[in-house]
Structure 1
């Protein structure tokens, strides 16, 4: 292949006017279908992750709670994340009331926005057809359907990272420092959604611009420094404000042992996630409590169903694209796009594969955009070059690999057993047809391409529909049907009474008698109740509508409040009830203050049982 042919392999050819007539209707149909998929029946999941729903409720009642991401409107303790996602949910709850729809709809709209932005980004480097395919793939990715119908911070993170990628692509067109700085600001705001995970894309973005921006090296470096400054300012301003705010006048920083947001960022939610050394965590690290590590982790039973369907094809597309453009000019934007999306995919996948700390299958939604961009770009460009044997072979090979991957994934589940062989046979037939597509008539070739696209997305599409049609609750939702990967679509078994082990990851709705008890005279107290663990507190707070103190934070291992502080709150008449028997520490580190408080309450106050929950009246 000559240098000119290499450049043609992934070059963008301006679309003729006839294609523009179908592009806009096709895009509108894609966005409409995505909106229906993410919005239909959304309220069935109720509070979804009650941990964040309760914080959104608190933010709708208190501006301070909204700013700090407090779990309750009385500002006892924050959630264990920076609160950007809560800002969106809290403001929505202020405008439309506290209900499942006001909390979950923003995430669904973020999903539609992510699909649109991904399409727009890929279109600028690879044309409208590639943009549409790239937008279709995440819409039919189970992990994406899971997170864009749920209220974890991942939805906002993905939207902001795709927006940042768009900014980098725009910056590459004319070496624009303004667009590059905007991209950096988007990544920085993504940090406020899910902290250091947002920064995993920075090496890829920097490499793409450093290699391909059409200006001398010195100016490229200056532009990157400016973008880095924008990233740091966008991310660090909040940390600085919290650090300077008097600790006595703000909620305790949940997830930290020293009431420090810096510790939370770089410890429990930072490098601790990589090493497994997370003070206050109740699980085991280093592959002991969060699954085995290694190159095959993303294809394991816990994560595969959410993201692995097109992962091999994306890696093949990346390798083929870099080979075809190896002799292209430095400023070739097609290769720059490959560096951007490929670097995003490789760095994030490597971190997810080898991190020894807390990791959950839904994290893989961050891989959906680069997989979609690589597959969409390669599929369309290889189709345009199908008259060349190498391109036809790669296109056919990619289809075959995808069909086999889908078959292996579907074969692991007893769900719809007919689907696996159907996808395999249909996909292999499509692969053969794609190889001989150059010898077909135009209409036959078009029908072959359409059939291949449909059959190869059938497996992931079916799992996506199963994910969207299911209800999801708890802290660790899973993609797919209940008989699919990861042992089910829910975050574990039912939560037990307040403070019980089940409440660590799940919550329950209290009965009518207990709810009435919590609401009675609630306005007379700062907290209508206190209980160990944030998820337990969330269920009581959402039902009663009044602040409930989450003793010990999410894991029950945060040193807030101390026993002395709690006793003073009780003496001052600020807490009405204590709920539950408390919990036994299951972690190997962190504070045992919650356990001390539970034992002190049980020793000094008489217990009663209401709707199966142990209740201590702290004012008796």
Structure 2
């Protein structure tokens, strides 16, 4: 048996993988269940195969989550093996991050050597947004993993002209489609163009290969969607966030063209979709976009209806819910919730990517995207220039090094342009799609510029200049948080920047005078030390931002790491229950106990307006909760007559109205008019000290602030959104005997 020898190279990548493992796995339990909407879906999926296959959100299979199945199948399998827990559903993403680091090392090393591979692996491992998505049950890093596997085979296909490798590559893209739908196709230009320009086989053969490969890609991509749409609607869950109960519409609607529309402003049918989770309401300070938002908010804070009569106050309730619905888009557009990677003490712009100012400087500007991905972006761009010069990239494209540079460049540049200019829907964690090409091109770039540095001419200055530009970008990022991060952290970052600038300056000086001081070998050795010092300088700050995720819990719905996590007042108060739209497990416990006691034969233990109000209950109890409006309460799933029939058959008895999320109009109106309100003392724990509910919310409009409170049951009560005021308007209705 061949012995495993630990060479310096193997030790190096092992250490990087250990670093990635620590960043992705250490203290993972602080993330709880991550996004509760998705976690509830996984809880339902492990109950039976039908829920598993159709990615049902609820145990009864009423409505599905708004994403394709593969990522959640993996989470459900993990939960089945290790038992359902927050750790078991977060584990697949953490492992995907670690494996991705290993893959980036392998791909880059294969064409550019060990040094380039190890630098690329380090850069990917410590990119803040990459770490954040590795520690959350959003499925973007599972997508990144399958796309990197696709790149492994595409690189071999382009180099050797092997048709089978191209097919395997496109199969993995198809699998990526079944993780995040059209987002997987963002790598399409890189794959198609790289293979098309390769010189391994005649051009006609390449075109033929790509045509056949496209058919295979389409077949794999649409396989699950086709099966689901062929199943009669009565035999499966409603396709959540679709308008016509088909996956095809979901692909091209909510998860497709709707994402390109600036009118969405971050609203969608699911997380990051129409009616993005109501977690925005949980912050201590809101920044309202305009006066109309403030008017809507004043309506939201109206007193809830009386709880001791069927009809009393129902008009008030309907009005309040309607105003919540109208105000939601404005509120989410302007909110700077810390839990959303929002401003906090650093006043970053926007809650969603499309709300930030579009342009080439978007990813560098003072907004919620700023410290997630840009850390190595300048180095990657310099890397493209240096590698094109060094490898003399022009026809014929007959080497794996040339083809890999083109592959990574065509992955990076179109996506960089898209995320810089799109006014449609995207969240900070989507930027993890940029992390692999940036990391790869940084490793390729530094080693390429090092070779050019040892030569003469203008091209030899690329290396020190790139380090200086990197240092300036890092300084810009620091300036956004200089008054909000701890002084010790600030001191370390400043020291790292000084090291980077000093090493770069000495590289320049040494380039000028080296022949007069040292011999050739000594010159190279001294220059190499300076490059390592400059590299340490540019790795320090993103490493600090990434490691902050170990000690600071992330936003459950919109995970982001970076210096923002270290800012003052960055605690995710109320964020642990983000995604439920309710008060979290503490305040749901009495409701669960009430349902345990009173629900006997009903198919649905509880009906709520949206999945926002059901996630935590499903996670904690496994009960069948009907979200009549899907994720955000806006899906047209069931008619009033159909709902009445369920009540008549005894399948539905209790309905929770009010609270967060958009009410499903006529059904909730009918419930409020005909149902009997259950005494709050029977199902809600009113003794829990809700700090948010007792804090006065401040609304900033045109640099002016105002404070508002509402009066409820004769007492002044501050409206806090997710917790406190809004939730106090929830009413539990008993529908027993309402339909004969």
TM-score (norm 1): 0.89
Residue of structure 2 in register with 1:589 after alignment: none
Residue of structure 2 in register with 1:260 after alignment: 246
Q: Secondary structure at the match of 1:457?
A: helix
Residue of structure 2 in register with 1:599 after alignment: 669
Residue of structure 1 in register with 2:49 after alignment: 63
Cα distance in 1 for partners of 2:626, 2:563 equals 35
Q: Secondary structure at the match of 1:302?
A: coil
Q: Which has the larger radius of gyration?
A: 2
Shift of 1:420: 4.5
TM-aligned CA distance change 1:431 to 1:363, over 3 Å: same
CA contact (8 A) 2:173 2:184 kept: yes
Aligned with residue 293 of structure 1, among 358, 369, 376: 358
* 1:242-297 CA-partner distances (Å, limit 9, x unpaired): 11111110100111111121111111110111123567624479999733322222
Does residue 611 (structure 1) correspond to residue 693 (structure 2)? The answer is no
Q: Secondary structure at the match of 1:616?
A: strand
Residue of structure 2 in register with 1:159 after alignment: 145
CA contact (8 A) 2:194 2:403 kept: yes
CA contact (8 A) 1:411 1:420 kept: no
Deviates more, 1:74-83 or 1:429-438: 429-438
Q: Secondary structure at the match of 2:650?
A: coil
Does residue 359 (structure 1) correspond to residue 441 (structure 2)? The answer is no
Shift of 1:102: 0.8
TM-aligned CA distance change 1:231 to 1:509, over 3 Å: farther
CA contact (8 A) 2:582 2:659 kept: no
Q: Does 1 or 2 have the higher relative contact order (CA < 8 Å, sep 6+)?
A: 2
Q: Secondary structure at the match of 1:527?
A: coil
CA contact (8 A) 1:37 1:468 kept: yes
Residue of structure 2 in register with 1:346 after alignment: 413
Q: Secondary structure at the match of 2:562?
A: coil
Cα distance in 2 for partners of 1:34, 1:163 equals 18
Q: Secondary structure at the match of 2:84?
A: coil
Does residue 476 (structure 1) correspond to residue 558 (structure 2)? The answer is yes
Cα distance in 2 for partners of 1:288, 1:236 equals 28
Residue of structure 2 in register with 1:312 after alignment: 378
Cα distance in 2 for partners of 1:57, 1:523 equals 21
Structure 1 unaligned runs (5+)?
1-18, 497-501, 586-591
TM-aligned CA distance change 1:206 to 1:510, over 3 Å: same
Residue of structure 1 in register with 2:469 after alignment: 401
* 1:70-122 CA-partner distances (Å, limit 9, x unpaired): 10121111111112111011111122211111111111001111111111111
CA contact (8 A) 2:196 2:203 kept: yes
Shift of 1:504: 5.2
Aligned with residue 161 of structure 2, among 155, 168, 175: 175
Residue of structure 2 in register with 1:23 after alignment: 9
Does residue 131 (structure 1) correspond to residue 117 (structure 2)? The answer is yes
Residue of structure 2 in register with 1:111 after alignment: 97
Does residue 577 (structure 1) correspond to residue 654 (structure 2)? The answer is yes
Does residue 336 (structure 1) correspond to residue 403 (structure 2)? The answer is yes
Residue of structure 2 in register with 1:556 after alignment: 633
Shift of 1:508: 5.4
Shift of 1:238: 1.0
Deviates more, 1:210-219 or 1:244-253: 210-219
Cα distance in 2 for partners of 1:462, 1:576 equals 52
Count of residues in correspondence between the two structures: 590
TM-aligned CA distance change 1:46 to 1:242, over 3 Å: same
Q: Secondary structure at the match of 1:530?
A: strand
CA contact (8 A) 1:423 1:456 kept: yes
CA contact (8 A) 1:54 1:542 kept: yes
Residue of structure 2 in register with 1:546 after alignment: 623
Cα distance in 1 for partners of 2:15, 2:411 equals 28
Residue of structure 2 in register with 1:534 after alignment: 611
TM-aligned CA distance change 1:59 to 1:460, over 3 Å: same
TM-aligned CA distance change 1:288 to 1:443, over 3 Å: closer
Shift of 1:445: 3.6
Shift of 1:550: 1.9
Q: Secondary structure at the match of 2:368?
A: coil
Does residue 84 (structure 1) correspond to residue 70 (structure 2)? The answer is yes
Q: Secondary structure at the match of 1:615?
A: strand
Cα distance in 2 for partners of 1:619, 1:544 equals 23
